[in-house]
Amino acid sequence: MAKKKIKVASPKTGCAACMPNTMEIPLGPQHPALKEPEHFLLEVEGEIIVNVTPRIGYVHRGIEKLAETKTYSQNLTLVERVCGICSHVHSISLVNAVEGILSKHDFEVPERAQYIRTIILELERVHSHILWLGIAAHEIGFDTLFMLSWRDRELSMDLLEEITGNRVNYGINEIGGIRRNMTKEQLDKTIKYMHLTIERLDRYVEICLKEDTIRLRTQGVGILLPSKAKELCTCGPTARASGLAVDIRYDDPYSAYKGALRDILKVVTYDTNDVFSRVVVRLIETIEACKYIIWLVENMPDGPVFAKPPRKIPEAKILSRTEAPRGELIHYLWSNNTNKPYRLKITTPTLANILSVSEMLKGDYIADSTISLASIDPCFSCEDRMITIINKDRRKSKVWTWNFDQLRKYSREWNAKNKRWKK
Amino acid sequence: MLAVWAQWLLLILGILFFPGIGFCISIALFDEWIDRKFYAALQDRIGPLHTGFKGILQPLADFLKLLANEDIEPKAADKWGMRIVAVIGLTIPLLALLFVPIVNLSGILSFEADLLLLSFLTTILALVIYLAGWFSANRLAMPGTMRAASQLLSYEIPILMAMFAVALRTESLSVAGIVTWQLEHHRPVIFSLPMVIFFLIFLLSSQAELERSPFDIPTAETEIVGGWEVEYSGKKLAFFRLSADLQMVYAAGLGAALFLGGPIGVEMWIPAFADWLGTGASLAQPGGVMWVGAIRMAYYALIFAIKTTLIVLVFSTMKALMARLRIEQFLEFSWKWLIPVSLGLMIVTFFWVPWLDNTLWSKFEALFPGGAT
Amino acid sequence: MTRPAVIIWEALRNAFSRKKATIDYPFEPGVKPAVGLRGAHYLDITLCTGCRACERACPPIAIVMVPSEITKTGKRPVINLGECIFCGLCEDACRYDALVLTDYIELSAFKQDEMIIYSTEDPSLVKKEEATEESPKEEES
Ligand code: SF4
Ligand code: SF4
């Protein structure tokens, strides 16, 4: 499909006598379509967007700094809270990093633990993608699809609740294995629920392919050409929807993807480069994920699920990559032979994808801005980091720069002041 | 025979309470409840539950709560403009509803060619929306008003076509005349093929006029944060919400009157019943029997409520089924499909329908004891 | 073939089926949590030795130790459910099975203080508990 973009005159060439013919419309930080605060300044001409300026940094939470003060097993519960939806994949990423260090020192994680971790990873992908389908439907005003898809998402949520004990931040990982084993009934129930989910997903694929209004709203909207996608370093379903076959599960396997699962792994791509292609890629990927879960349950090995790791993690620097539902997730860990990390650096997929949004939006209508933005499945709180703002033309902003020592001093003071909650 | 002052008193009471403002507002709130319940049911939800029987008072509670909310007016906005626009937005659908037949064959107010006035009032309403967005001086309201204005052009023409096709068919420009025609001919207007299509066109365009999904383009919440409504809060928002409900009742009531025979129920096919009802007293015919008049009022109001509720159910089903269109897609749909189709059907109606209806209907008429016209 | 309103039959089927996906939760009994869901804590103070293992394990510092007359070391944990993330690490850390997570999940309260459980220690309450095995719900607040 050709790139169908509307040619727009640059704002400078407009009639000089009249008002400047572009208008600035803020999208965020508070907007009903955004569930988290983020700001995009849209310059529009009539209904057509000519320029987009993203601005991040509203919900920086200092998780990387906090991670340095906690032990590894406490950190597993901390990094899970980076994202509310793809939480397990964060702890998998950290666990993989730590176990990667330990594997140099003859430490083996039991096979069954890896399988159960992967089941939860894929369950998480299922519920995250169905959640995204609902949000995308809500953005284009199709609330019935939103409600129905979230109803069917409950199946995978219930499974997660039953397997791990929590609905959102599962807390099932531990360095060296997992904390709960799966019983026979749970395995059977997983297969049953996954078949039900596949049935419902087939229905949604049918709806999305057949429904005229969905096609009208998504086809030819938010186009990201493969060359641009590569240039802007997109990842995950956003890249796959532009025809780039990148998938960390396949390219750089971890957990149970290393084994025989890699043979049945499919990298789903689609080549219309628009929002519709992202819908299709995500839906097909969800069905595939259900199939992987069934395969994993059927081929589940027996054995222990936990091996006791050493208390101290030897000194090393390691980079661990995982495929989150939204794309490539990177954890960089620097250990220093203690039970706490020296430095932990997290890069979430939204940070890689967010620049492609401004490319997608240019030349589209305002009406399409939210669905284009939602099509990368943004998760702003995960990607936010502290930045220095250089604001040229706005009101003078407060620039807050700290060097390392000042930051340390502030954190020490803060810690001393708020050490314990007290009555 | 009532005295003149008593007639005037009855008229004023009528406008204020029973078939007038009070009744219209209560049926508007009832229809909003129906709409919310059914919309929720389509989505596999329960909907409002707690105020009154199964949440029937929820719309009223929402309205009262909005009235009590803080009313914020932005500095840059035209404050008096906003206030006046909110009140006008509420009065226009109320005024229009007075012309819709509810408890009689004619509305409370009615004159020859009141169909023209009704078409004028709906256009004024769109203008009010445009002004509402303009006065609030908001960057998100501006696209909303532009969308409202361009949407106006594309739904108003099909609605007018549908209204005047009915007028053409029944050879009357007043709503009362159209309803009487249906009673006299023992069939609602919709019982002929082009009129069915006109009815569908009327429903679709009314959906656009009411700014309900899939045509809620001027107020799209996830795109432009409520569009022209964005700066309205508290009492003004409550007025606009109530106005939207009233518009829904007005559209449903007008559709019922034009296509489904208005408040006429089964007596369309039972002339004896119709004659008996005709003996009741009313303002136009003061000499009739009082209690028959009262029964007729209640009966007509009931039939009116049933018919509008059915149309509202169609509205809420339509709302649930589709994604919101973009403004230019809606314009395209309207100018490429709705308007040409309604124009073509208009010609068909003019030349062919009376003849076709008469030949087809004469075979049918034998089935009913109503006999030939 | 694409057409509008594909979802119509499914939506109408939903509308006329009696069973809905949502429930009227606080007025109806809610969905029963799955077995093993982590909810509010239950502290059996007769088993607790005051070893501080739970305090050290807790990631968000939701547990602090306060003086106690019953336990061996003279300390016992107090748990702030407002800070707790229900990770269950304290349960794993406790070697004496004194602290377990129950499936009691209705934890909302009007005041922050109400979220802190076991803040007052009442020996008579402990005695009664031994006899009747009261649910932890009773002695919150
Ligand atoms: S770990 Fe168990 S025994 Fe030790 S203080 Fe905590 S509750 Fe008491
Ligand atoms: S469940 Fe986790 S957060 Fe809560 S008290 Fe226990 S260790 Fe702390």
ipTM of the shown complex = 0.82
Query: What is chain C's Cα-based Rg?
Result: 22
pLDDT in tens, B194-249: 788 888 999 988 888 888 878 888 887 777 777 788 888 888 889 988 998 999 99
Does residue A18 register a pLDDT over 50? no
The ligand with the least distance to the CA atom of C47 is 1
Report pLDDT digits (tens) over B114-133: 888 888 888 888 888 888 88
Instruction: Determine the 3-state secondary structure of C96 from DSSP.
Output: coil
CATH number attached to the domain at A63-383: 1.10.645.10
Nearest alpha-carbon partner for A89 in A134, A112, A123: A123
From chain C, the residues in CB contact with A210 under 8 A are 1-3, 6
Residue B245 maps to a domain: yes
SS3 call for B159: helix
Q: Are A320 and A127 in contact (CB under 8 A)?
A: no
Q: What is the pTM of this model?
A: 0.84
Closest approach of chain A CAs to the CA of B253, in angstroms? 27
Q: How far is CA B319 from CA A141, B34, B243, B314, in A?
A: 10, 13, 18, 9
Cα B154 to Cα B142: distance, rounded to the nearest angstrom = 19
What is the domain range of residue C64? Answer: 35-140
pLDDT in tens, A367-400: 788 888 888 888 887 777 665 555 555 555 555 6
Residue B346 has pLDDT above 80, yes or no: yes
Region at A270 (left for phi over 0; alpha for psi -120 to 50; beta for the rest): beta
Within A299-403, where are the H helices? 349-361, 369-374, 380-383
B77 Cβ contact partners less than 8 Å away, ≥ 6 residues apart: B135, B136, B137, B138, B231
Atom of ligand 1 nearest to the CA of C52: 5
How many CB atoms neighbour CB B221 within 10 A? 20
What is the predicted pLDDT for the residue at B360?
Answer: 66
Q: Determine, yes or no, domain membership for C102.
A: yes
Enumerate neighbours of B (3 or more CB pairs within 8 A).
A, C
Number of H helices, E strands in chain B: 15, 0
- Structural domain total, chain B: 1
Q: How far apart are CA C6 and CA B40, in angstroms?
A: 18
Determine how many CB atoms are found less than 10 A away from the CB of residue A363.
18
Question: What is the reported pLDDT for B365?
Answer: 60
**8-state DSSP, B18:** S
Average pLDDT over residues B262-282: 75
List of residues 6+ apart from A410 with CB closer than 8 A: A402
How far apart, in whole angstroms, are the C-alpha atoms of residue C90 and residue C70?
A: 20
204-243 in chain A: CB under 8 A from chain B:
211, 213-214, 216-217
- pLDDT given at position A14: 40
Domain that holds residue B105: 4-365
Tokens of A194: 């996954």
Could you tell me if residue B373 is inside a domain?
A: no
Residue A163 to residues A79, A159, A189, B298, C35: CA-CA distances in angstroms? Answer: 20, 6, 10, 61, 9
CA dihedral A190, A191, A194, A200 (to 10 degrees): -130
**pLDDT given for residue B263 in this prediction:** 83
We report the CATH number of the domain holding residue C75 as 3.30.70.3270
Spatial separation of the C-alpha atoms in residues A38 and A370, rounded to whole Å: 12
- State the pLDDT at residue A2: 43
- Amino acid code (one letter) for C121: E
Interface of C to A at Cβ within 8 Å reads 1-7, 10-11, 14, 21, 33-38, 57-59, 61, 64, 80, 83, 85-89, 92, 113, 116, 119
The encoded tokens of residue A16 equal: 């000089």
Q: Determine if ligand 1 sits within 6 Å of the CB of residue C72.
A: no
Residue C57 lies in a domain: yes
| CA of C54, nearest ligand number | 1
Read out DSSP for B62-123? Answer: HHHHHHHS-----TTS-HHHHHHHHHHHHHHHHHHHHTS-SSSSS-SS--TTHHHHHHHHHH
Give the pLDDT band of residue A286 (cuts 50, 70, 90).
Answer: very high
Number of structural domains (chain C) is 1
Q: What is the pLDDT of residues B60-81, one digit of tens each?
A: 998 999 888 888 888 888 888 8
Subunit contact B44:C14, Cβ cutoff 8 A: yes
Which run of H or of E encompasses A265? none
| Per-domain residue ranges of chain A | 63-383
Percentage, residues of chain A above pLDDT 70: 90
In the predicted structure, residue A233 carries a pLDDT above the cut 50: yes
Residue C66 domain-assigned?
yes
- Pairing type for strands A48-55 and A173-174 reads unpaired
**Considering the domain boundaries, does residue C113 fall inside one?**
yes
**Percent of chain C surpassing pLDDT 70:** 84
Between A232 and A391, whose confidence is greater?
Answer: A232
Number of Cβ within a 10 Å radius of residue B355: 9
Residue B259 lies in a domain: yes
Q: What is the pLDDT of residues B6-50, one digit of tens each?
A: 778 877 877 777 777 888 888 889 999 999 999 998 888 888 888
A324: which residues sit within 8 A by CB, 6+ positions away?
Answer: A83, A86, A89, A90, A236, A348, A349
* Average pLDDT across chain B, whole number: 82
DSSP three-state, residue C57: helix
pLDDT tens, residue by residue, B148-207: 888 888 888 888 888 888 888 887 888 888 888 888 777 787 877 778 888 899 998 888
Distances in whole angstroms, Cα of residue A329 to Cα of each of B157, B279, B285: 54, 81, 81
Q: Is residue C23 part of a domain?
A: no
Which one has a higher pLDDT value, A93 or C18? A93
- In sequence order, the β-bridge partners of residue A211 are C3
Residues forming beta bridges with residue A40, ordered by sequence position: A27, A54
pLDDT at A126: 92
On whether residue B262 sits in a domain, the answer given is: yes
Question: In which element (H, E) is residue B49 found?
Answer: none
Residue B337 is classified by DSSP as: I
- What is the pLDDT at residue B284? 60
Nearest to C59 among A74, A165, A180 (CB): A74
